[in-house]
Amino acid sequence: MARSVRFREALREAMTEEMERDERVFLMGEEVGYYNGAYKVSEGMLDKFGPKRVVDTPIAEAGFTGIGVGAAMVGLRPIIEFMTWNFSAVAFDQILNNAAKLRQMSGGQFDCPIVLRGPNASARQVGSQHSHAMEHMYATIPGLKVIAPAFPADAKGLLKTAIRDDNPVLVMESETLYGVKGDVPDGEHLVDLGKAQIVRPGKDITLVAYSRMTHVALEAAQALEKDGISAEVVDLRSLRPLDENTIVASVEKTHRLVIVHEGWPYGGVGAEITDRVQRLAFDALDGPILRVTTLDVPMPYNAKLEQACMPQADRIVSTVKRLFARGRA
């Protein structure tokens, strides 16, 4: 059986179940306790677990991220919430130099079983400093794992698996997905990291996306259907490890690939996938791999300009059509 659950509730279920299961797991971040979460993800958790395990912090991301790393190093399993991933920029040193490297620079003596989570990428008109897609920067770092679920069931299952993982796992959520509902299976629900899923089968083109862009890609696929183009949508769920097998298998079927993500086009997850697919499936491709990303500028405040910067279904549709037009030419 399954229940219809909002994305934020699915995350809360994951944390609550894991905290009930394992005394070593605790939640720490700004406003996670008495305020019940800036986006209400942790609503009710302070009442349930008390201030020892649901820890409100001052505004000190470097400090409390470092606290999490140190606590993880000696055997606790912290969940650190960033009010948004934008604020992780001031904790970047803790993530890059400590969380990601501890195991290797200690010759494998120490692990860092920490989960870092929070909303990522654009919200609604929150301006240039609050709209970053930070996953591109983190997915490049060996020693980290990075996940980006699009649906409540995956949010729950992936977060539970992340909490049980012995490595640092970064969970990219989305402010605009927190209220989205979806079916979540009853009972214990775990989803493996590193497994993409085909959320819409198709035969003419592969659209690869993750997090909120999976929904935008599905919208584009519907529009393309009306024009007689059958798009297959691959929802990555996990960015590192990256499920290149599922991507390659889809491209071998459709022979065309468009990658959709928020964040700038210079480098990043889309460029990484492009590299892998041209290496692994060069002969299967009937055209260049194209990307639909945030425009290559800081995010503007103006609503229309913001929408113009973000990947939209119509930009995906026109990009796909350009690929087909080129194919005919």
Partner 1 sequence: MQPRPKEDVDHLAQLYREMLLIRRVEEESARGYAEGKIGGFLHLYIGQEAVAVGAIAAMKPEDYVVTTYRDHGIALAKGMPPRALMAELFGKATGCSKGLGGSMHMFDKEHNMLGGYGIVGGHIPLAAGVAFASKYRGDGRVTTCFFGDGAVSIGGFHEGVSLAALWKLPIVFVCENNEYSMGTPLSRSLSLEDTSQKALAYGIERDRFFADDVLEVERRFAEAIKRAREESKPTLIEVRTYRYRGHSMSDPAKYRTPAELEEHKKRDSLGRARAGLLEQGMAEARVDALEKSVEAEVADAIKFANESPEPTIDLLESTTYNGPFAY
| Options 37, 143, 149, 157; binder of partner 1; rule CB under 8 A | 143
State yes or no: residue 193 binds partner 1 (CB under 8 A). yes
223 burial (CB, 10 Å; 0-12 / 13-18 / 19+) is middle
Give me the half-sphere count of Cα atoms (radius 13 Å) on the Cβ side of residue 39.
24
Closest approach of Cβ 129 to partner 1, in Å?
Answer: 18
State yes or no: residue 64 binds partner 1 (CB under 8 A). yes
Footprint of partner 1 on 91-110 (CB under 8 A): 93-94, 97-98, 102-110
How long, in residues, is the chain?
329
Q: Return the amino acid letter for 111.
A: D
State yes or no: residue 304 binds partner 1 (CB under 8 A). no
Closest approach of Cβ 311 to partner 1, in Å?
Answer: 26
State yes or no: residue 242 binds partner 1 (CB under 8 A). yes
Q: Quick check: is 61 catalytic? A: yes
| Options 36, 62, 195, 278; binder of partner 1; rule CB under 8 A | 62
The catalytic residue among 130, 219, 225, 244 is 130
| Options 73, 79, 123, 133; binder of partner 1; rule CB under 8 A | 73
| Options 27, 38, 45, 57; binder of partner 1; rule CB under 8 A | 57
Closest approach of Cβ 89 to partner 1, in Å?
Answer: 13
| Options 36, 167, 176, 312; binder of partner 1; rule CB under 8 A | 167
User: At which residue do the structure tokens 């001031």 appear?
Assistant: 90
Which residue in 100, 77, 203 sits closest to 146, CA to CA? 100
| Cβ contact 62:93 at 8 Å | yes
Closest approach of Cβ 101 to partner 1, in Å?
Answer: 9
3-state secondary structure of 323: helix
State yes or no: residue 278 binds partner 1 (CB under 8 A). no
Inter-helix orientation angle 7-21/152-164, to 10°: 30
56 burial (CB, 10 Å; 0-12 / 13-18 / 19+) is middle
| Cβ contact 138:144 at 8 Å | yes
19 burial (CB, 10 Å; 0-12 / 13-18 / 19+) is buried
State yes or no: residue 268 binds partner 1 (CB under 8 A). no
Binding site for partner 1 (CB under 8 A): 26, 52, 57-58, 60, 62-76, 90, 93-94, 97-98, 102-111, 142-145, 165-167, 193-194, 240-242
Residues acting as catalytic residues: 61, 130
